[in-house]
Structure 1
Amino acid sequence: MGFHNSSMNIHLRDRHVLCAYCQRPSGEATYSELDLDSILGTVKGKFKWSAENFSGSASDIYLEQEGPMYEPILHVQLDDGDGPYDDYVNLAYCIKNEDGKLKYMDCF
């Protein structure tokens, strides 16, 4: 289950810092941040988990909650050497809410 199901006010700060209020098992919500540049990068113009500094090679970065499950989708424009193109990644695949904190989990 992705972090978005137990978090609110999910947004980006400075184009690469994921921020949210994450619910703890007690029901209390705590503010948490996770620097996506420390866990998400690009290789040959494609997103790659367990890499770094995606924002250094991306433009038009924004986050939207989409679909019936309001999944957190990070949208960017990347350049693979042949020109820029739009790409996206579902942050719920590899980020979880662990006791009120956003945490990266190896997923691929």
Structure 2
Amino acid sequence: PDFSISLGADGISRKLEIEKGVTDVAEIDGDLRNRQYHVEQLAAMNVSDVKFTPFKYQLSPSLPVKKDGPGKAIIIILAALIGGMMACGGVLLRHAMVSRKMENALAIDERLV
């Protein structure tokens, strides 16, 4: 209960007397009265004669018909291509390093002569 200070002592005491005089709590709280009404309506329903067939929303799981994802052949071909490219890159890098050493060695020999 809200007992506002602005009512004064007489107003608060009168309000307290009124609330003490109420025997049914549902008279004070409207929400409680609504809940009582809903409970009475639910109790009045007769659900024993309702007939319905239950059904499922979800199917039972099963294995896929066709395998998803890339095939083994595609994976093998791509792995071979990537391996070939890396091998070619390694050979080119090694050739570049050897030719650079040869050029440096020739340049040093020319300076000495």
TM-score by length of 1: 0.15
Higher helix share: 2
If asked which structure has higher relative contact order (CA below 8 Å, sep 6+), I would say 1
